[in-house]
Structure 1
Amino acid sequence: MDHHEHHEHHAQHGHAAMGGINSMAVSATLHCLTGCAIGEIAGLMIGTAAGLANGWTIALSVGLAFFFGYTLSTLPLVKAGLSVGAALSVVLAADTLSIATMEVVDNLVMAVLPGAMDAGLVNVVFWVGMMIALTAAFFAAYPVNRYLLRRGKGHALLHQYHQGGAEAVGVRRLIPSFATSTLVAVLVAFMLGGLVVSIADEVGGGPSEDGHASSAT
């Protein structure tokens, strides 16, 4: 292999590695986003049902977002044989910065969108606002995950276990994980379902006092 061929081979290897990092960053960001979205929506549902003020509702949503985000990454490690403490220590190091970035951006967007926080769950404004907020959170967290992966941190810590690195701690099989595509598909279906229900409610005029849909005017 001459110098020119060696240079081209090195460049192709570099592009392939970069493509792998980009793909892993997308997957890691979507995985964190799913957990955050579950927590966010659950928190807003509970806050709305309980009549909590916006500040308390946001605090509840953030707490649940971290809980579900960590849980989605911790369960596969525990299922594979790691102790809860060992699995959680890995997940805390891998996901905390990504989830924190998402939560800051997501809640900031929901707070500045007119009427989004006060819209209620059966309202198009809420679901459209949530979609905008989650999209913004994804684009904010993606470069964070990509930076961490390039430094061997973040989801790279989880990736080494999925590739058999768990042998070092006595785990004898590859760690099963929740398929990111499945999690995202479920989330998208849920979000679209909420949007469709909200549109149907507005078109139907909402329920009247006797429990029947009133006619739209």
Structure 2
Amino acid sequence: MHNQDQTLNRTAISATLHCLTGCALGEVLGLVIATAFGLGDGVSIALSIGLAFVFGYGLTMLPLLRSGMGLRAALPLAFASDTLSIATMELLDTLTIVIWPGAMGAGLGDLLFWGPLAIALFIAFWAAFPVNRWLIAQGKGHAVVMEHHHHHA
């Protein structure tokens, strides 16, 4: 039982790091674009969240597509495996940035931009970890993607 828990935790950490990578890439890009162009807070948040989902799904689909799976098969797998995890991350890290005094108005060269963002992503990781762990334990989430990836590999 202990080894199963360790394996489940390692798999969930790997899935959460994978998800965090996509979320961070999309979110940072969205915030950088919005800040550079002086876009409002609402547009900045929407752009960051949208790009987090795009990058998150994209990183999940990439190995599936490389293994020969078609887009029509890979897309629903990415949606099924990542939506709850990305939504959890985006809710927590966006909320952290929004409530952090001055973070939404900080410029790209300010520690007040990057510091809260790093802390928000850290919080988001630990919020999404139990979500991913539960999904994998149920045979859902990244467990499904890994099963398909190993089957096609």
1:7-22 counterparts in 2 under 5 A? Answer: 14-22=1-9
Cα shift at 1:161: 2.2
State the AA in 1 paired with 2:27. Answer: E
Once residues 146 and 65 of structure 2 are traced to their aligned partners in structure 1, the CA distance between those partners, rounded to angstroms, is: 15
Task: Compare CA radii of gyration and give the structure with the larger one.
Answer: 1
Aligned equivalent of 1:76? 63
Structure 1 residue 68: Cα displacement: 0.4
Structure 2 counterparts to residues 173-188 of structure 1, below 5 A: 174=153
Tell me, yes or no, if the aligned pair for 2:61 and 2:78 is still in contact at 8 Å.
yes
Cα-to-partner distance string for 1:84-108 (whole Å, 9 max, x where unaligned): 1101111110011000000000100
Match of 1:42 in 2: 29
How do 1:149-188 and structure 2 match up within 5 A? 149-163=136-150, 165-166=151-152, 174=153
How far has the Cα of 1:81 moved from its partner?
0.5
Q: Aligned pair 1:104/2:106, yes or no? A: no
Partner of 1:26: 13
CA distance in 2, matches of 1:125, 1:46: 17
What residue identity is the alignment partner of 1:119? A
Separation (CA, whole Å) in 1 of partners of 2:121 and 2:32: 16
Mapped partners of 2:30, 2:75: distance in 1:
22
Query: Higher relative contact order by CA 8 Å / sep ≥ 6: 1 or 2?
Result: 2
1:81-136 Cα offsets, whole Å, 9 max, x none, are: 01111011111100110000000001000001111111111001111101110000
> SS at 2:105's partner residue?
coil
Alignment partners' CA distance in 2, 1:28 and 1:152: 13
CA distance in 2, matches of 1:162, 1:53: 40
Identity of aligned residues (%): 54
**Structure 1: how far apart are the matches of 2:120 and 2:142?**
23
- RMSD value, Cα: 0.8
Whether 1:122 aligns to 2:71 is: no
Question: 2:2 and 2:145 mapped to 1: Cα distance?
Answer: 23
Structure 1 residues not aligned, in runs of 5+: 1-13, 167-173, 175-217
Q: Determine if contact 2:67/2:149 at 8 Å carries over to the other structure.
A: no
TM-score (normalizing by structure 1):
0.69
Structure with greater helix share of residues: 2
CA displacement at 1:74 relative to structure 2: 0.5
Give, in whole Å, the separation in 1 of the partners of 2:134 and 2:118. Answer: 25
Q: TM-score, length-normalised on structure 2?
A: 0.97
Given residue 108 of structure 2, which amino acid in structure 1 is its aligned partner?
Answer: L
Structure 2 unmatched ranges of 5 or more? none
